[in-house]
A and B are shown apart, each in its own frame.
Chain A
Amino acid sequence: MNIRQAPQDTDVLIVGAGPAGGVAALELATRGFRVVCLEQGDWTLPDDFSGGKPGWELTRLKQWHPSPNVRSAASDYPIDSGDTPVEPLMFNGVGGSTIMFSGHWVRAMPSDFRVRTLDGVAEDWPFGYADLRPFYDEVTHHIGASGLEGDPAYPDSHSFPLPPLPIGKYGLAAAKGMDKLGWHWWPAPNAIASRKFKNRDACLRYGACESGCPVGAKASADFTHWREAIDAGAVLVTGARVRQLTVDNRGLVTGAEFIDRDGTLRYQAAEVTVLAANGVGTPRLLLNSTSARFPDGLANSSGLVGKRLMIHPYASVYGSYADELESWYGPAGQSLQSMQFYETDTDRGFVRGAKWNLMPTGGPLAQTLWEPGQDWREAFGPAFHDRLRRNFGRRAEWGITTEDLPEEHNEVILDPSATDSDGIPGVKLDYTIGANTERMLEFHVERAVEAHLAAGATSVERIPIVRDSGWHLLGTARMGSDPATSVVGEHGRTHDVPNLFIIDGSVFVTSTGVNPTATIMAIALRAMRHLADNRLNQTAAV
């Protein structure tokens, strides 16, 4: 096959136009680098999404489903998740998974960066909360997060550029329950504009965040970074699926082979390459980039590429209330969050903890769906109206994001038996929930039941593991100082290939117990600023 050479001279090639790629493109383009980004998906516009339209509740179950295996769009790639209790979720397109994420904008806690020191498990990160804090602050104010300063769960009083979104009637009810128990709660921080901010309109509470914001209020990276990066000179090529990274005889990355949307194999050369393709896509590309020099995949001398996958097993506890709580209103998004049981208390039988988020429960169809295996008469017939009356507008969810610890047997591997629409191997996930996390889930679910009952719930429903919850794809190319036990250093540069960087959730040493996007973007900014500041010392392919 002939390979067509892309014409531009390029300092930095970025693979993936999600939030980390957006941070990289904006930082580097504004610092004078010639930047090209290859993105396998396309742009989406607010009007593309079905939220607020009649077909929303039906299409969010298919065309706008967060699982690529359900969505099966041409830009998606197959992921065999049959051996994991959690389905991996993502979006492949400009903005990446921020297009469909729920926008929980939560920074990690100081303890998250030193779990070996504090709890004797996993490893400490190569930097701490204080090192990351200025980057959290900068990204938070850049993207226009909404929240309230002063959460006592944090050691610092970090601020937000926008006031908090409404917690709603259901949030107020839940807060009263938490107060009865004396438990921590706080109006939740969200990457959703409560007022008009830069190029985004204010939230209109459709509650459709997880199927794409129909008003452009959510801080998806297409809005927060990509338009500005392109204005600064970055070149974003959509419909460009990277097949393999290439290397020279010095072991440096020279660029990427990619397949354009016409099926033509092309080549993009670059002096430096940055991977920002998420915790599944990045190991997929590295493992698929074998060569005589790197027979086990690129940057994989440690053998850890693809391993230590963490995915944050998620539990839901739903409470139904007698009062009308208007829980069809967004944001979804989170109303409240609680860190009451975030830190380790060994009396509970496990280490580390989980963050809780209170969420709305959507429209009427979401209350009346039948689950395979369920007696049909429990969902339809007269029960249909019983469920509708009991749950629609009267139901709220305490969602529980648990910290799973890194284990090498939890991994992403190539799956040559299933290929994407361009013939590139898909991946398979092997993942089991660890014993510590199992105990953590059990404990937290029972506490969330208590929280609902204290708030006046008339009934509760426990879902100990939510299958469609695998948004947080972390740890598959971990950071560290030792090349034998880590893939990248603290600024994202791979130990094996000095002009190759990884800046997405793959680099997490541990998973933290919070939604990771704020941390991913802060880490990406720290890494790319370091690259720009030290450009004269950066090894480059010629």
Chain B
Amino acid sequence: MTLDAGQRRAFAALADVLIPASGPMPSAAEAGVPDALVDQALGYRPDLSDAFIRALASCSGADPEAALGQLAADSPDQFEALTVLTAGAYFLSTRVKAALSYTPPPRPAHEDTDTYVDMLAEVVDRGFPNRCDRPTKDSR
């Protein structure tokens, strides 16, 4: 689905309240969430479209903070759709990914036993006193 101009304006009014700027992290609008990114997110989750549109209609024209509070209390399905799509779109942003400053997968599964092998020796030395390996009828 594609948002019409009014819906996109209504969403933009909410997006920066939900995700304001903070330190190196851009706000939702600065990240481009109300533009192409929310369309991309809706493409991944078309099942949320109806609840998302209803959320925008519910909040349209009202004070954003008050409207969001009302929506969360009265229509949790709509609030959930709105926030999943907003945050989901936010993390699609290349600017947000850069600001998060992390190296995402893939990463080869290199063995790291050298980091803990000495500790493991202590685990073995401690033994397992609670272990229940008394003879069973099948091992007699």
How far, in angstroms, from A42 to B95 measured CA to CA in the complex? 39
Q: List CB contacts (< 8 Å) of B97-122 with chain A.
A: 100, 102, 104-113, 115-116, 119-120, 122
Question: Inside 8 A of A154's CB, which chain B residues have their CB?
Answer: 131
Set of chain B residues within 8 Å of A364, measured between Cβ atoms: 91, 100
Question: In the complex, which residues of chain A have a beta carbon less than 8 angstroms from the beta carbon of B51?
Answer: none
B5 contacts chain A at the CB level, 8 A cutoff: no
* Contacts known (A57-B91, A111-B132, A150-B124); A204 close to B107, Cβ less than 8 A: yes
- Asked if A328 is at the interface (CB within 8 A of a chain B CB), the reply is yes
B45 touches A204 (CB 8 A): no
| A384 and B40 in contact, given A164-B111, A345-B130 (Cβ under 8 angstroms) | no
The residue on B at minimum CB distance from A118 is B132
User: What 0/1 readout, one digit per residue, does chain B (3-23) give for beta carbons within 8 Å of chain A?
Assistant: 000000000000001111011
- Residue of B19, B100, B106, B130 touching A384 (CB-CB under 8 A): B19
What residues on A are CB-neighbors of B102 within 8 Å? Answer: 326, 328, 392-393
Cross-chain contact B112 with A385 (CB below 8 angstroms): no
CA distance A202 to B108 in the complex (A): 8
Distance between Cα atoms of A196 and B41 in the complex (Å): 34
Q: CB distance B138 to A129 under 8 Å?
A: yes
Given A118-B132, A202-B108, residue A380 in contact with residue B22 (CB < 8 A) = no
B87 and A384: CB pair below 8 A?
Answer: yes
Indicate if the CB atoms of B76 and A373 lie closer than 8 Å: yes
* Interface: A266 (CB within 8 A): no
A165 in complex: contacting residue of B69, B104, B109, CB < 8 Å: B109
Q: Which of A166, A172, A205, A385 contacts B106 (CB 8 A)?
A: A205
Q: Does B60 contact A (CB under 8 A)?
A: no
Q: Which chain A residues (158-197) contact chain B, with CB distance < 8 Å?
A: 163-168, 171-172, 175-176, 179, 182, 184-187, 194-195
Residue of B nearest to A176 (CB): B119
**Shortest distance between the CB of B94 and any CB in chain A (Å):** 10
> Distance (Å) between the CB of A78 and the closest chain B CB?
17
Contact A57 B105 (CB under 8 A): no
Establish whether residues B87 and A365, one from each chain, have CB atoms under 8 Å apart when the complex forms: yes
> Within the complex, which residue of A179, A345, A373 is in contact with B122, where a contact is CB–CB below 8 Å?
A179
Given A127-B138, A343-B130, A372-B80, answer yes or no on A365-B113 (Cβ-Cβ < 8 Å): no
| Other-chain contact of B111, A54, A166, A370, A388 (Cβ < 8 Å) | A166
Q: By the criterion CB–CB under 8 Å, are A204 and B79 in contact?
A: no
> Does B133 sit within 8 A of A, measured CB to CB?
yes
Known contacts A110-B133, A381-B17, A393-B102: does B124 contact A152 (CB below 8 Å)? Answer: yes
Interface centre among B69, B110, B111, B133 (most CB of A within 10 A): B111
Known: A328-B102, A384-B19. A128 touches B136 (CB 8 A): yes
**Stretch of A58-66, A231-239, A246-254 with 4 or more beta carbons under 8 angstroms from chain B:** A58-66
Interface status of A153 (Cβ within 8 A of chain B): yes
Nearest B residue to A375 via CB reads B72
Q: Are A59's CB and B137's CB within 8 A?
A: no
A342 vs B133: C-alpha distance in the bound complex, in angstroms?
13
Verify B116–A381 contact, CB threshold 8 A.
no
What is the 8 Å Cβ interface bit string for chain A, positions 387-412, against chain B (1 contact, 0 not)?
A: 01000110000000000000000000
Chain B residues lying within 8 Å of A165, measured Cβ to Cβ, are 109
Contacting pair B116 A172 (CB below 8 A): yes
B107: chain A residues at CB < 8 Å are 204-205, 329
Given contact pairs A164-B113, A343-B130, A370 touches B79 in the complex (Cβ within 8 A): yes
Q: Which residues of A contact B53 (CB under 8 A)?
A: none
User: A130 in the interface, Cβ–Cβ < 8 Å?
Assistant: yes
Measured CA separation A166–B80 after assembly (Å)? 35
Q: Does A331 contact B (CB under 8 A)?
A: yes
B128 near A152 (CB under 8 angstroms)?
yes
Task: Across the interface, name the chain A residue whose C-beta is closest to B112.
Answer: A166
Q: Who on chain A is nearest to B25 by CB?
A: A385
Which among B76, B119, B136 has the greatest number of chain A C-beta atoms within 10 A? B136
Separation in Å of the B135 CB from the closest CB of chain A?
10
Query: Is the CB–CB distance between A175 and B119 below 8 Å?
Result: yes
**How far, in angstroms, from A452 to B84 measured CA to CA in the complex?**
29
Question: Closest CB-CB distance, A443 to chain B, in whole Å?
Answer: 14
Q: A54-B92, A384-B19 are in contact. List 6 more A-B contacts (CB 8 A).
A: A62-B45, A110-B136, A148-B120, A330-B105, A363-B91, A381-B20
Q: Give 25 A-B contacts (CB < 8 Å), ordered by A residue.
A: A57-B91, A62-B48, A109-B131, A110-B136, A130-B139, A148-B113, A148-B120, A163-B111, A164-B111, A165-B109, A167-B112, A168-B112, A185-B123, A187-B116, A194-B109, A340-B130, A343-B130, A343-B131, A364-B91, A373-B76, A376-B68, A376-B79, A380-B17, A381-B18, A384-B19
Residue numbers of B with Cβ under 8 A of A are 17-20, 22-23, 25, 40-41, 43-45, 47-48, 65, 68-69, 72, 76, 79-80, 83-85, 87-88, 91-92, 100, 102, 104-113, 115-116, 119-120, 122-124, 126-128, 130-133, 136-139
